Amino acid sequence: MPHPLSQTTSQRLARLGVDPSAFTGGALTVCSPIDGSAIGAVHPASAEAVAEAVGRAESAFKAWRSVPAPRRGELIRLFGEELREHKQTLGELVSVEAGKIRSEGLGEVQEMIDICDFAVGLSRQLYGLTIASERPGHRMMETWHPLGVVGVISAFNFPVAVWAWNAALAVVCGDAVVWKPSEKTPLSALACQSLFERAARRFGDEAPAGLSELVIGARDAGEALVDDVRVALVSATGSTRMGREVGPRVARRFGRSLLELGGNNAVIVAPTADLDLAVRGIAFAAVGTAGQRCTSTRRLIVHQSHQAVLVQRLKKAYAGLPIGHPLAADTLVGPLIDAQSFEAMQSALRAATEQGGRVFGGERVLAAQYPEAYYVKPAIVEMPAQTETVCHETFAPILYVMSYERFEDAVALQNAVPQGLSSAIFSNDLRETEAFLSATGSDCGIANVNIGTSGAEIGGAFGGEKDTGGGRESGSDAWKAYMRRATNTINYSRELPLAQGVRFDV
Q: Could you give the residue numbers annotated as active site?
A: 260
Query: Toward ligand NAD, which CB reaches closer, 91 or 263?
Result: 263
Q: Is 98 in the site for ligand NAD (CB under 6 A)?
A: no
Query: Toward ligand NAD, which CB reaches closer, 200 or 424?
Result: 424
Q: Is 263 in the site for ligand NAD (CB under 6 A)?
A: yes
Give the whole-angstrom CA distance, residue 431 versus residue 426.
Answer: 13
Query: Toward ligand NAD, which CB reaches closer, 242 or 285?
Result: 242
Considering only CA atoms, which of 292, 309, 249 is closest in space to residue 396? 292
Which of 89, 182, 193, 297 lies at the binding interface for ligand NAD (CB under 6 A)? 182
Q: Is 403 in the site for ligand NAD (CB under 6 A)?
A: no
Over its C-alpha atoms, the chain yields an Rg (Å, rounded) of 24
Contact 97, 185 (CB under 8 A): yes
Which amino acid, 93? L
Q: Is 465 in the site for ligand NAD (CB under 6 A)?
A: no
Q: Is 255 in the site for ligand NAD (CB under 6 A)?
A: no
Task: Classify 381 as helix, strand or coil.
Answer: strand
Q: Is 453 in the site for ligand NAD (CB under 6 A)?
A: no
Contact 342, 393 (CB under 8 A): no
Q: Is 262 in the site for ligand NAD (CB under 6 A)?
A: yes
Q: What number of chain residues touch ligand NAD (CB under 6 A)?
A: 29
| Beta-carbon-side half-sphere exposure of residue 224 (alpha carbons within 13 Å) | 21
Which of 283, 300, 311, 421 lies at the binding interface for ligand NAD (CB under 6 A)? 421
Give the whole-angstrom CA distance, residue 265 versus residue 292.
Answer: 12
Give the whole-angstrom CA distance, residue 28 versus residue 45.
Answer: 10
Give the whole-angstrom CA distance, residue 225 versus residue 151.
Answer: 7
CB of 225 to ligand NAD, least distance (A): 7
Contacts with ligand NAD, 132-161, as mask; x by CB under 6 A = ---------------------xxxxxx---
Q: Is 428 in the site for ligand NAD (CB under 6 A)?
A: no
Q: Is 396 in the site for ligand NAD (CB under 6 A)?
A: no
Backbone angles phi, psi at 299, to 5 degrees: -135, 135
Query: Toward ligand NAD, which CB reaches closer, 67 or 451?
Result: 451
- Applying CB under 6 A, which part among 33-41, 238-246, 452-460, 488-496 lies near ligand NAD? 238-246
How many residues belong to the chain?
506
Q: Is 237 in the site for ligand NAD (CB under 6 A)?
A: yes
Contacts with ligand NAD, 43-82, as mask; x by CB under 6 A = ----------------------------------------
Which amino acid, 8? T
Q: Is 179 in the site for ligand NAD (CB under 6 A)?
A: no
Q: Is 111 in the site for ligand NAD (CB under 6 A)?
A: no
Give the whole-angstrom CA distance, residue 255 versus residue 158.
Answer: 25
Query: Toward ligand NAD, which CB reaches closer, 260 or 432?
Result: 260
- Applying CB under 6 A, which part among 54-62, 96-104, 199-207, 259-267 lies near ligand NAD? 259-267
Which of 233, 261, 301, 481 lies at the binding interface for ligand NAD (CB under 6 A)? 261
Q: Is 222 in the site for ligand NAD (CB under 6 A)?
A: yes
Give the whole-angstrom CA distance, residue 278 versus residue 453.
Answer: 11
- Alpha-helix residue ranges (DSSP H) falling in 65-101: 69-85, 87-98
Q: Is 107 in the site for ligand NAD (CB under 6 A)?
A: no
Residue 346 vs residues 41, 120, 267, 369: alpha-carbon distances, Å:
30, 45, 23, 20
Give the whole-angstrom CA distance, residue 99 versus residue 466.
Answer: 29
Contact 181, 221 (CB under 8 A): no
- Applying CB under 6 A, which part among 192-200, 232-240, 271-279, 371-379 lies near ligand NAD? 232-240
Which of 81, 183, 206, 465 lies at the binding interface for ligand NAD (CB under 6 A)? 183
Q: Is 395 in the site for ligand NAD (CB under 6 A)?
A: yes
Query: Toward ligand NAD, which CB reaches closer, 82 or 473?
Result: 473
Q: Is 383 in the site for ligand NAD (CB under 6 A)?
A: no
Contact 116, 480 (CB under 8 A): no
Which amino acid, 312? Q
Q: Is 203 in the site for ligand NAD (CB under 6 A)?
A: no
Contact 442, 294 (CB under 8 A): no
Residue 16 vs residues 35, 85, 89, 90, 95: alpha-carbon distances, Å:
23, 10, 7, 7, 15
Give the whole-angstrom CA distance, residue 272 versus residue 7.
Answer: 53
Q: Is 282 in the site for ligand NAD (CB under 6 A)?
A: no
Q: Which of residues 288-347 bind ligand NAD (CB under 6 A)?
A: 294
Burial of residue 430 (CB within 10 Å: 0-12, 13-18, 19+) is exposed
- Applying CB under 6 A, which part among 61-69, 255-263, 269-277, 301-309 lies near ligand NAD? 255-263
Give the whole-angstrom CA distance, residue 353 versus residue 421.
Answer: 26
Residues lying near ligand NAD in the complex (CB under 6 A): 153-158, 180, 182-183, 218-219, 222-223, 226, 237-239, 242, 245-246, 260-263, 294, 393, 395, 421, 468
